Amino acid sequence: KEVLKRRENLHAISPWVVSSSSPPSSSRSEVTYPEDNLEVVCVRSESLKSFKLGTTRDGAEDPNVEIDSPRLEYMSIRDYTCKSFVIHRIGPFAKVNTDKFGAVHADDPLERTLFHGFLTGISTVREMIISARALEDVRIYSKFDPLPLFYNLSRLDVSFAEHNLELLPTFIGCCPNLQSLIMEFDCPPETKEIKLSYVPQCFSSSLEFVEMKTPVTTMEPTIKMNLAIYFMRNSAVLKKLVVSKNFINIISKIRKIPKLSRWCEVAMLEFEVVSQKSSLVSGH
């Protein structure tokens, strides 16, 4: 049975440790609390398959984390902010769902070093869901140091806000074997343009599916059109471009865009689906 070893004395400072005597289908969902006085959450298991981590500290810094679970297939991080998140081992084709990587400040080399370690730790994942908040940490880091390559990443579900739209080509460029890209744009109507010139490697070799979603009240039609042009004119193996119903006013124009891939089909979502947000009480 999977066991969470927790200290008996709430005032003592010691880690939580997930032991390694669990069945292959085991999973853990953990939440840290203000009264825990924890310094570190350690997850060490040879059989753990799923791990979800959250907090109720409401803005206060969370305990540092260490993960050493070579069979981990799914990891979710929700509203969690810590200085150090060390991943020694996870499954080679895991799925990561996060809305916050950590706190990255431009003027702190140590924070950037720790963040680099975290990115390297998850660079083997096969699927990633990343929120605009988490992407902002990536944007800040990328201004000073190059991002690692995510060679195994085949599916990326990412949310963009106005301030990190510029990261779109750079971040996709770190995924040379990306096959499916799902994007949600939450940009105010006053956002007028986005510069898209760099064409990532996956556009010519692997990217087959692109989906773009926007809330009703956001994003100028010009930006929507520019995004569609960017993918359709530069993606050599694209099979399907799917847009949300908020593209309805320009869908006919999108279908007339000259496309690099002759197999590319343009479609509209029939049903709007709420962005994937992991929960510590729901499945993944």
Span 93-108, pLDDT tens digits: 999 998 876 666 767 8
User: For 23, which DSSP code?
Assistant: -
On whether residue 66 sits in a domain, the answer given is no
pLDDT at site 72: 94
Which one of 83-87, 209-213, 214-218, 279-283 scores highest in mean pLDDT? Answer: 209-213
Q: Is the pLDDT confidence value at 216 over 70?
A: no
On whether residue 130 sits in a domain, the answer given is yes
Q: Is the pLDDT confidence value at 80 over 50?
A: yes
Q: Is the pLDDT confidence value at 247 over 80?
A: yes
pLDDT in tens, 9-63: 333 334 455 544 445 447 777 677 666 777 788 888 888 999 998 887 776 778 8
On whether residue 213 sits in a domain, the answer given is yes
On whether residue 21 sits in a domain, the answer given is no
* Alpha helical stretches, state H, 3-62: none
- Nearby residues of 110 by Cβ (< 8 Å), 6 or more positions away: none
On whether residue 38 sits in a domain, the answer given is no
Range of the domain at 211: 73-268
Q: Is the pLDDT confidence value at 136 over 50?
A: yes
For residue 67, list its beta bridge partners.
43, 87
Q: How far is CA 33 from the centre of its chain?
A: 25
Q: Report yes or no: 218 and 186 within 8 Å, Cβ to Cβ.
A: yes
How many domains, the chain? 1
- Nearby residues of 138 by Cβ (< 8 Å), 6 or more positions away: 101, 119, 130, 147, 164, 167, 171
On whether residue 56 sits in a domain, the answer given is no
Q: How deeply is 116 buried, as exposed, middle or buried, from its count of CB atoms within 10 A (0-12, 13-18, 19+)? A: middle
* Alpha helical stretches, state H, the chain: 109-121, 132-142, 168-173, 202-205, 221-234, 251-255
Instruction: Identify each DSSP E strand in 127-270 by its residue range.
Output: 127-130, 155-161, 180-186, 209-213, 240-243, 265-268
Q: What is the mean pLDDT of residues 219-227?
A: 85
pLDDT at site 101: 61
On whether residue 20 sits in a domain, the answer given is no
On whether residue 85 sits in a domain, the answer given is yes
pTM of the predicted protein model: 0.84
Q: Is the pLDDT confidence value at 163 over 90?
A: no
Q: What is the mean pLDDT of residues 211-224?
A: 80
- b or e along 257-267 (b: 16 or more beta carbons within 10 Å of the residue's beta carbon)? bebebeebebe
